[in-house]
Chain A
Amino acid sequence: MITGRNIDVAFGRKAILRGVDVDVPFGKLVALCGPNGAGKSTLLSALVGDVPTAGGDIRYGGIDLRRMDAAELSRRRAVLEQTPTLSAAFSVAEVVRLSVPIEYAPAETEALVAKIIAQLGLTRFTDTPVPDLSGGQRHRAHLARVLAQLTANRSLFGPGYLFLDEPTASLDVLHQIEVMRTARRMARSGAGVLVVLHDLNLAAAFADSICLMRDGEVACSGTVGEVFTAKNLSEVYATPISVQKTNGGPLMILPDYHTAA
């Protein structure tokens, strides 16, 4: 499990995160939600080792994050950035192969790459240069790369963590659902998954627990039912939001469009 305790992050004199506590257990999908500027992406960046913390403690299964180098970290976690980029005209297969660790058997790499490309529905684009794909397809190609890294490392070093920063932002509804299903499948297969999400309904439908942030702090955290109440959400987002329970299905989160400020 990743445990983050009392995390502070500051850019210059400006405090971005203040005393944040967060856990990412193996086998669970944690959704990080909150309004713009709440510090969600910064918290993800701190947890994956991109930005240094000004205070607090982040541990991967008891090991201090600061004691791990880039190679060690890459064996334990895979990260999909909010806007992944690519400067070369690599094909989908080449991109997916990129993050597979060199320790992974070359003979098995091709099968792994093909399997993950198929999972993400990109099989017919296997040899297509990624820059020629649509925005959503490009995003899925990068997701496939990240999943290949996580899957290969799992077979070599055991389960790891998957971090997704707004993975559904550029996708249509069908692909949003497919990406979240994939994230949940990774969690069910043993990975700890943390997803930054703006879509509260997707979070309600797929997350095992929610961490709701506001102004660089955790406003509340817990199960979907505990966190996603009309009171909590209306306060954090500073706009009226209602929560409806469906018959056996996920909660439905509905902003009140007419009385919103």
Chain B
Amino acid sequence: MALAESPHRRQWVLGRQQTVFAGLICAVLVIALAEIAIGPVPLSLPQILEAVSGKADPMPTAIVTQIRAPRMVLGLGIGLSLAICGAVLQGLLRNPLADPGLIGISGGASAAVVVVIVLGDLFIGEIPAAFRPYLLPIAAFFGALLVTALILGLSKKDGEMSVGRLILVGVAINSIAGAGIGFLTYISTDTQLRDLTFWSMGSLAKSGWLAVLVAVAIMGVSSLALLRFTRALDLFQLGERAAFHSGLDVMRIKFTACGICALAVGAGVSIAGPIGFIGLVAPHIARMLVGGAHRVLLPASALTGAVLLLGADLIVRNVAPPQELPIGLATSLIGGPFFLYLLLRTRKL
């Protein structure tokens, strides 16, 4: 009987997954449209279409093409990539609490970005002008990569990744990065200080097209590259030893996937600051919707992350217009309690 039921169940699961994906894609489209339409100057759909086709007045055209569209594209890219990185890290480390922010990857990227913002004047003249737009993403990538290598090296206990050590290493690295950022903030000028304060709380506001396209291209390519690891991530759920027995080069996959995550997170952090908890919350919601198989979990996490981040941005932009709250506040407000809930639910640490 059970064998006869099995194909029906698989069909039911497949149908449910298709419905969930259709729903998530619709949600992304609706919220992306809302991100452009809703704001201190509300715009209707015909106005948006006119602005995009260049037939509208200069002001709505500028609002759509120069302010809201790059912001929406950036939010989409960061939401997708942070969520997919969170899902990959949770899978690789077999740890439901892994998140680029919590385990220190964002902290490393942030410290590197702050170094460039505060001390950049000392060496920016030495760098060819063509490379300058890429300086922040490159610095953030190396900061994130350094921290990832430290985490992988320090979290091992008897050859296996220990969840407790991972979290504590993340706390330590965040603390060290925080100290470095604090020192640089202390010696920064008034203008730098204001920039740093808003940047450190996360914001999609400073998004000109060039910087957005560079960052989104890096995040997009990284996210697509991570989709190649779905089978490996499924095998990692058996433990690293069993994954090796099944034919995986465990160390190579771990370092490659973490390196790609560092690249994606670094690109996001360099332009929008450290936006926490999307990488933690989105994969959990996606797992509840489509299950734990990574071939469906990664794309579902990515879509969920985009909805959450654009949703959070929509809220912070419109809660007290024309003032704009930092998006990091909104994501932390949702993510903090969710993290506590997960901690209380996780029996073994």
Contacts and interface: CB of A to CB of B under 8 A. Distances in A.
B238 A85 contact: yes
B237 A87 contact: yes
Contacts of B237: 86-88, 90
Contacts of B245: 48, 73-74, 77-79, 81, 99
A69 B244 CA distance: 10
Kindly name the residue among B6, B237, B245 whose own CB sees the greatest number of chain A CB atoms within 10 A: B245
Interface of B: 1-3, 5-6, 9, 94, 231, 234-239, 241-242, 244-250, 291-293
Interface stretch (A2-10, A123-131, A175-183, A227-235): A123-131
A108 interface: no
Contacts of B236: 87
Contact of A71 (B1, B5, B247): B247
B36 to A, nearest CB: 38
Contact of B247 (A75, A90, A93): A75
Given A70-B244, A73-B247, A127 B94 contact: no
A245 B80 CA distance: 68
Given A50-B241, A87-B237, A70 B247 contact: yes
A86 to B, nearest CB: 6
Nearest to A99: B246
B234 A124 contact: no
B249 A71 contact: yes
A78 B246 CA distance: 7
Contacts of B242: 79, 81, 84-85
B246 A74 contact: yes
Interface residues of A, number: 36
Given A88-B237, A125-B2, 15 more contacts: A49-B244, A71-B247, A75-B247, A81-B241, A87-B239, A90-B234, A93-B6, A94-B293, A98-B238, A98-B246, A99-B245, A99-B246, A123-B3, A126-B3, A127-B9
A70 B248 contact: yes
A84 B242 CA distance: 8
Contacts of B291: 89
Nearest to B236: A87
A102 interface: yes
Nearest to B160: A85
A49 B94 CA distance: 23
Nearest to B246: A99
Nearest to A102: B231
Contacts of B5: 127
Nearest to A45: B241
Interface string A84-123: 1111111001110011011000000000001000100001
Contact of B250 (A70, A77, A81): A70
Given A70-B250, A86-B238, A87-B237, A123 B94 contact: no
Nearest to B90: A87
A110 to B, nearest CB: 9
A195 to B, nearest CB: 16
Given A69-B249, A87-B237, A102-B231, A127 B2 contact: yes
6 contacts: A73-B247, A81-B242, A84-B239, A98-B235, A118-B3, A124-B2
